[in-house]
Structure 1
Amino acid sequence: MHLYSSMPTAITPADLYEIKGNPAARAALATCNIYLVTARRRIYIDPSNVSREGNVVHGAFIVQRTSGVTHVPFELTITDEIVVNADYVRDVQVFGSGTHLAVVTEGNTTILAAHVVVAHADSALSGEDKDLEVLYVGQGIGRSGQRSAIDRLLNHTTLQRILADASTFRPDHELILLLYRFQNLKIMLSTGGDLNAEPEASSAEERLHVDRMHQATLSRHAQVALAEAGLIRHFQPIYNTQLKDSDFSARKKAKILQDLLRKDMTGLIVEISSGNVRSRLRTESAHPIDISQIFDEAALTGSRLESETDKRAWAAELHQMEHSHFAQFALTTPDERDSFVHGTIWQGETQRDNVPRS
């Protein structure tokens, strides 16, 4: 079973209190059911270095790297995606703190946090500059299924502790909350095992079995619980205390994993992406995908593609790939899997050809 998310909505902890009193914003985020508390070294906007030409803003980010503080130029095209009345920009101003950009249009002023500018601007910021460390993974769906991630975060003691620790021990870092909707799943089926053995099921029974597998589904609550468990096990966030050491293939399983096995599911994949915020997710236990280890230079540049349309589409695919994580878990032990999937007796052989186990 493959669970995959929407793209996240990124907000600051302070935004929670703005959203709390904004019915439209609450409605827009009502179906967000998984949240990540993330951190990175703060990226500022230089208040002394900003200019505008129409709806294009030129400025510079202030970035703290191991080599010292540096300024990274950026160009931001203001579109309707981020500002109302983007075609009627009248002025742009940077807060003295360097944390926000104010965009003034006809009859409206939009305040953009620096992380929003980072996500939408063209710049030479490196992946390491923008990477987000996953500190905590949680779910925002209550027993009734009505509570959202916003509701949970507004009354969250662990978030309060993270904020206290950050202000004391990491004052040069910013916290960014990523709100996800996990409400999609795919079922993948494969065949294997001893291909020369006589099947025990009839063709009709096998067809019924495959049909039942194709129709397998989970409740929204179950999907969210599985997504949370898989992401915690994958990222090992420092502020999560449960599920970090869970063995999904152990004989004594959590109820939700037992339910998967009863549906004949033997593996779980939880896919999460952060491509829209242009920031990769990482922890000490889960590093971003290094696409340079997968593709050669020609593939990375798309030089073998003929049309510009294909090149842009391929670049978008690569971007999505390097901003995605795949938490993958077997629900059975190697011995169990060898009995029905991996071992094969080839024609003319008498022994099973066992796949090496890691």
Structure 2
Amino acid sequence: MNRNLENLISLNSRFLVLKQEDAFSDKELVAELRKLPIHIYLICKSSRILLDRNNSLIDKKTITLNFYTNINGIRKDIIVKTINRPGQLIEKLECNYPFNKFKAFGSNKSFHSEGKTNLLFKYLTAQNETYYEESNLEVLYVGQAFGKNGERITIDRLKKHEKAQRVYFDTQDKFPDEEIWFLSLTFEPTLMTVFDPRSFYDKSQMQEDLNQQYKIETNPIPFDQQITILEASLITYFGTSEYNKEYLDFPSKTHTKYNELYKLDFNSVGFELSTTSIFSKLFSEKVKADYYHYERYFLHNETERKEMLSWAR
């Protein structure tokens, strides 16, 4: 192992898509999602947020919506106000049983918009710069969809996924006042190399370091291994061992699906995940609710790292 440089790979989140299972039958949506390399997904649990249309008011200036949850038989009302925008006026709002989908109409009953009340709640509260814990998403399972050459995306996997069905039915059985959401996303890798500055005084050592850097830059970690590295990192970080049974020993050398990290002499791998774009904080039994999640995993033991970074002391 080269002791004069540290090679890092950081995976940063992009293209977050939050949907429920019924959205995967929408051909137009699936066609749009296929344009994005969304190979990682999180199965999450969230409070079922409903809309009480009878106690909601609409006039030409404002819209006042009565959202509510009903956890363990205890109703919690959350009143959200927003502007009824000129030029896009909403005159009528429909929200029929089970009160988790809405349809909005403009003048002369013209169609305005429709969607899930949960997503509408997240959007409007974020617009008002107000956050409620009911928008939190609890991460239950981490998975991937890649295929032989990356031709599969998470939508393909979730259509026929036994584990997703198990998580779904477990949640409906144990937590009927909550619902399952699927967060599909991709990450963009960043490679970094940190040199021991003393190596520049030793020409032979400096050349060895430069050769190692060139090796990494010209032999990138295959994309499928990047996906596996990310999946393993997220499983370890969120502690989803109730449903995830693989990669629980990450970053151990024993798993061949990410051994390229060790072959190329990487020292650490990390990820950064931001969920501000979906107006929700992620959490798990292991991790507190937050918009931002970051972790870095060292691929070598503490003795090796101390030896490698001894020049910094």
TM-score range, shorter chain: 0.7 to 0.9
Match of 2:17 in 1: 9
Q: CA deviation at 1:50?
A: 2.0
Cα displacement string for residues 314-358 of structure 1 (whole angstroms, at most 9, x for unaligned residues): xxxxxxxx41211321111101111111x248xxxxxxx5xxxxx
Q: Distance in 2 between matches of 1:78 and 1:327?
A: 42
Q: Could you say what secondary structure the match of 1:60 adopts? A: strand
User: Which stretches in structure 2 are left out of the alignment for 5+ residues?
Assistant: 1-8
Please tell me whether the aligned partners of residues 76 and 120 of structure 1 are also in contact (alpha carbons under 8 angstroms).
Answer: no
In structure 2, relative to structure 1, the CA distance for the partners of 1:156 and 1:42 (3 Å cut) is same
- The structure 2 residue matched to 1:335, chosen from 291, 303, 306, is 303
In structure 2, relative to structure 1, the CA distance for the partners of 1:6 and 1:55 (3 Å cut) is farther
Match of 1:298 in 2: none
Q: CA deviation at 1:88?
A: 5.7
Q: Is 171-180 or 205-214 further displaced after alignment?
A: 205-214
Q: Could you say what secondary structure the match of 1:144 adopts? A: coil
- The structure 2 residue matched to 1:224, chosen from 216, 222, 227, is 227
Q: Distance in 2 between matches of 1:124 and 1:196?
A: 51
Higher RCO (CA 8 Å, separation ≥ 6 residues): 2
Q: Which residue identity lines up with residue 149 of structure 2 in the other structure?
A: S
In structure 2, relative to structure 1, the CA distance for the partners of 1:58 and 1:120 (3 Å cut) is same
Q: Distance in 2 between matches of 1:35 and 1:54?
A: 41
Q: Which residue identity lines up with residue 33 of structure 1 in the other structure?
A: H
In structure 2, relative to structure 1, the CA distance for the partners of 1:218 and 1:90 (3 Å cut) is farther
Q: Could you say what secondary structure the match of 2:204 adopts? A: coil
Please tell me whether the aligned partners of residues 272 and 294 of structure 2 are also in contact (alpha carbons under 8 angstroms).
Answer: yes
Please tell me whether the aligned partners of residues 7 and 274 of structure 1 are also in contact (alpha carbons under 8 angstroms).
Answer: no
User: Which stretches in structure 1 are left out of the alignment for 5+ residues?
Assistant: 80-85, 289-321, 346-352, 354-358
Q: Distance in 2 between matches of 1:233 and 1:275?
A: 22
Q: Greater strand percent: which structure?
A: 2
Please tell me whether the aligned partners of residues 72 and 125 of structure 1 are also in contact (alpha carbons under 8 angstroms).
Answer: no
- The structure 1 residue matched to 2:80, chosen from 74, 78, 84, is 74
In structure 2, relative to structure 1, the CA distance for the partners of 1:260 and 1:76 (3 Å cut) is farther
Q: Distance in 2 between matches of 1:204 and 1:95?
A: 70
Q: Which residue identity lines up with residue 110 of structure 1 in the other structure?
A: S
In structure 2, relative to structure 1, the CA distance for the partners of 1:203 and 1:136 (3 Å cut) is closer
Match of 1:57 in 2: 63
Cα displacement string for residues 118-146 of structure 1 (whole angstroms, at most 9, x for unaligned residues): 22102686553221111111112112321
Q: CA deviation at 1:60?
A: 1.9
Q: CA deviation at 1:197?
A: 11
Q: Distance in 2 between matches of 1:179 and 1:247?
A: 22
Q: CA deviation at 1:98?
A: 2.2
Cα displacement string for residues 33-55 of structure 1 (whole angstroms, at most 9, x for unaligned residues): 11111002212122222233458
% identical equivalent positions: 20
Q: TM-score, normalised by structure 2?
A: 0.83
Instruction: For 1:39-118, list aligned pairs within 5 A.
Output: 39-54=45-60, 57-64=63-70, 68-76=74-82, 87=88, 89-105=90-106, 107-108=110-111, 110-118=113-121
Q: Is 1:170 aligned to 2:181, yes or no?
A: no
Q: Distance in 2 between matches of 1:93 and 1:29?
A: 28
Cα displacement string for residues 57-114 of structure 1 (whole angstroms, at most 9, x for unaligned residues): 32122134799432111134689xxxxxx83644322223221221224753532102
Cα displacement string for residues 160-207 of structure 1 (whole angstroms, at most 9, x for unaligned residues): 11222122211111111111123x1111222349x5997473444444
Q: Could you say what secondary structure the match of 1:129 adopts? A: helix
Match of 1:264 in 2: 265
In structure 2, relative to structure 1, the CA distance for the partners of 1:236 and 1:199 (3 Å cut) is same
Q: TM-score, normalised by structure 1?
A: 0.73
Match of 2:193 in 1: 189
- The structure 1 residue matched to 2:145, chosen from 140, 150, 161, is 140
Q: Which residue identity lines up with residue 47 of structure 1 in the other structure?
A: R
Give aligned pairs, total.
298
In structure 2, relative to structure 1, the CA distance for the partners of 1:102 and 1:197 (3 Å cut) is closer
Q: Which residue identity lines up with residue 246 of structure 2 in the other structure?
A: Q
In structure 2, relative to structure 1, the CA distance for the partners of 1:55 and 1:273 (3 Å cut) is farther
